[in-house]
Structure formats: C-alpha cells, structure tokens
Amino acid sequence: MIGIDNEVRRFKEGNHLEKAFTEKYGHAAEFIAVAPGRVNLIGEHIDYHGYSVLPMALSQSIRIAVSSNDSSQLHISNTSGDKYKDYSGSISDLDIKKGSAPSWHQYVLCGIKGVSENVKNSEDLLGMNFLVEGQVPPNAGLSSSSALVCCSALATTQANKLSFTPSELASICASSERHIGTEGGGMDQAISFLAEEGKAKLIDFDPLKSSNVVLPQQVVFVVAHSGVEMNKAATADFNTRVAEGRLGVQILAVINNLEWKSMKKAKELQKALKRSTKEMLALVAETFHEEPYSLSEISDLLEISAEDLHSQHLSASVQHLRSFELRKRLRHVFTEAARVEAFRDTCEGGGDLSGVQSLGDLMHDSHVSCRDDYECSCPELDELVDLMMKNGAYGARLTGAGWGGCAVAMVAKGSEDVFLRCLKKGFYEKDEEGRKRMDDALFVTAPGAGAHVVFPRDDLDNVELPPPNNFY
C-alpha cells in the first residue's frame, strides 16, 4: 500500500477538507481522492501527434472528499463556493456541453462519464457526494482541468469498488476529457496517474507507458504565472493547432501515396515513411510554403471538395477557419520531438555543468519554437522568459498549452531565493495586480507523487479495498 501511512495521518490530524465535507453534507467523507497538476519540462503540443513528452507532477493537487449515496444522485460542491457553484444531477444523465468557457463541474462529469463508459453495468454506479478543493492554479498551463477529470475518475472508481490500473485510468481520462471539446493527446492524464515522487517521467504513447528520468541534482525548477489566464477549452486556439498539424500530416501522406483519411499523427506518418526526424523536417521544408494555406488549396492537395473537407475533416470548433499554417506547425512538431529525445539522453549522460547547460538550451529553444513556429506564446510569457534568462536561469520556456499561463525555469540549486526576488522585482512588483498575485503565482517545485486515495485512520480496518493497483 504505497504511501498510505503518511496520507492517512494527515487525513486524521484535522484535515480541513474532511471537516468542510462534514459541514457540507452532515456526515464524514469515506475517503479523499488526490490527483496532481503537472509542469511540462519539454515536449509541448506533440503528445497529440504521438511523440514522447517529459513532464513532472507538481506537489499541488486537486482533492475530492467523497461519500456514496443510494439516491443515484451526484452532488458536487467546491470549497471555493463563492467562485464555483454547486451542481446536482442524476448519475445516469451526465450532461456535458461542448462549447466556450465550460462550467467547472463539467470537468468532474467528464471523469465520471469516462468510468461509466468503461464498466459493464454503468446503470449500477452509485450516487456520490463530492467536495472539491483545488490547489493547482486554474488556467495557468499546469493542467488543473485534467487533474480535476483524473481526480473525479479516481473518486468514482474507489466509491464503486472498481479496478483499473493507473495506465487504464489515464487512457480513460484522456478520452473522456474530449467530451468537453478539447482534442488533447494524453500527457496531462498520464503524468497525473503515473508520476512518482522525486522523478520526472518520459511519457510514451501507443501504447501508453512511462519511464523515469533522473534530473540533475544541482538544479531546481521555478514556476511563474504570466498573469494571463488561458482556458484551452474556451477558445479555438488549441484545437486549431491540432487541425493544422493533422492537415499537414494528411497532405504529406497523399503526396507519398499513403492512405491519408485515417492518418492523424505525425509519428504515424514518420513510421509509415521510415524516415528520421531530420528527414521529416527536410520533407516539410520541400513540400510546404511559409504562407498560410487556404481551404481550397488544402482540398486540392487532398483531392476532395472544400465542402467535404469542411464537413468531414474539421471538428466543429475550427469550422469557422479559412486559412491554416502548415509548414511552421509541423516544423515545431518535429524539432520539439527531437528536443525531447536530446533532453532525455542528456539526463542519462550525467549531471555535469555542460550537460545542465545543454538541458537549459533545449528548454529555451523549445520556447523559441513555441513562440515563432507554433505561435502559442504571448507578450507576457515572452517577457517572463526573457527575465528568467537574464537573471541566471540555465533555460526557461512556457509550459502547458500556452497563450498565457506559466513559464518554467531551471536554475542552480541554492540560487532560487535570489532568482525569486529578481522575478518579483522585475515582473510582479511593476503594478498593483502583480503584487496581489505574487505569492500564489511564483513557486519552486520538485517532482511530486501521482494520483492516490487516502482514508481516515479510524476507518482503515473497515475499508474494502478494490483489487491491488498503485493508488494506495
């Protein structure tokens, strides 16, 4: 039972979430589900193309205190009830609406729906009472929304005494989050379930697996919020990048006489062509022009009508678009995939100073590519990354989807206090709004643990654990 003793002790010793649950529902919580946020060290916007990524879990997490009920009703509340309204509904009628700015409880429903879609008798799922507490800053590129989906799925699994492996739940949650309209690739869910304390993870897809990456001992990572919030489900920016990459892949498939309609990921194409990443970059350069492509150009290259392209190959969230960047998007995908491999190889090669600087260079090159080729940065992120580099970071980059949210910097251990003071003075103390958010927006982090369940100590002898997995 991994980590249960320390977690149970914290629960027993006056856990404020447990107390708040009792005040809300009039009885004690049966358990608390925990799922961490994450910071992606390198490998941005390539998980949905099938390429490996290299994140680590944060110590900050989403926590849900849970009890079951026999009414088949869901009751979902938040400890920040002034910001997030309560929700109640039937567990047999999970109404998830795609569209702009989804309500917070929709992410909770995604996790429950994912579990219900993967059990034989979904109508037998118990009603549940949830009280949610969020420690991961929202809309910050730290995967708060995916952590909420993962935590909800884990809570549903435990409440119903079901058995899924961490990898199975990660895949379930990656699929179920798409109910809300975001076409992600699975990195956020994978690290939330597969993380181990003290270790970063190389996450591979198709099939999903992870391997430990030992980071240099002489560095720490600093996360800083740009002040610009970005909910990737609330705009078309994220899904536009997915569509642009997919269209570029399909055009390359047509040109190379491959069946293209089912090909959606750059790694699938690379495997089919049996080419190296360097050769794929050359192919992109010789095939696409720098200017955006119109719908008619793309339909001609795919040898289908513009109407069929629009109706059959573009998701609803991007059907308003009339032009697409192809060359720059694929250039980012292939160079970023190469950077992830180089980052892993450098970590495996040891932690001397030249290796640490090489890791920093890869991180900064990643930011430049996100800024210039994927165009998912923003002026505030660019300013923050520049300030990090000027104040001694080995490397710095945006992390998460971008268009706002956070940047992450790798700095020498022992220098973090001075580094934090420089960021406060140079970025946050420039205006009143920055000063207000400074304490919550800036922190040092280390790799945290993955999703798990905790119980009150007094109840341990009476807890019916499901078949062994890695959540306890």
Going by C-alpha positions, the residue among 409, 403, 404, 413 that lies closest to residue 423 is: 409
Please state the φ and ψ torsions of residue 251, each to the nearest 5 degrees.
-65, -45
User: How far, in whole angstroms, is CA 249 from its chain's centroid?
Assistant: 23
Q: Is 352 a catalytic residue?
A: no
Q: What is d(CA 189, CA 199) in angstroms, rounded to the nearest whole number?
A: 16
327: left (phi over 0), alpha (psi -120 to 50) or beta: alpha
Q: What is d(CA 291, CA 212) in angstroms, rounded to the nearest whole number?
A: 40
Q: Are 20 and 464 in contact (CB under 8 A)?
A: no
Q: Are 275 and 265 in contact (CB under 8 A)?
A: no
pLDDT at position 100, please?
A: 63
CA dihedral 46→445→403→451, nearest 10 degrees, is 60
pLDDT at position 234, please?
A: 59
Residue-wise pLDDT tens for the chain (472 aa)?
A: 233 333 443 444 347 899 999 999 999 999 999 999 999 999 999 999 999 999 999 989 999 999 999 999 999 999 998 899 999 999 998 888 776 678 899 999 999 999 999 999 888 999 999 999 998 988 888 989 999 999 999 999 999 999 999 999 999 999 999 888 777 778 999 999 999 999 999 999 988 999 999 999 999 999 999 999 876 665 789 999 999 999 999 999 999 999 999 999 999 999 999 999 999 999 999 999 999 999 999 999 999 998 999 888 898 889 989 999 999 999 999 999 999 999 999 999 877 888 999 999 999 999 999 999 999 999 999 999 999 999 999 999 999 999 999 999 999 999 999 999 999 999 999 888 888 888 888 999 989 999 999 997 644 444 444 433 444 4
pTM above 0.75, yes or no: yes
Q: What is d(CA 81, CA 264) in angstroms, rounded to the nearest whole number?
A: 41
What are the strands of the beta sheet with 406-412, ordered from one edge? Answer: 395-399, 406-412, 219-225, 442-445
- The structure tokens listed for 455 are 């119980």
Indicate the pairing of strand 73-78 with strand 127-134: parallel
User: What contacts 165, CB < 8 A, 6 or more positions away?
Assistant: 469, 470
pLDDT at position 431, please?
A: 87
DSSP calls for 51-71: --BEEEEEEEEEEEEEEEESS
What is the DSSP code (8-state) at residue 76? E
Q: Which of 5, 93, 188, 461 is catalytic?
A: 188
Q: What is d(CA 423, CA 438) in angstroms, rounded to the nearest whole number?
A: 10
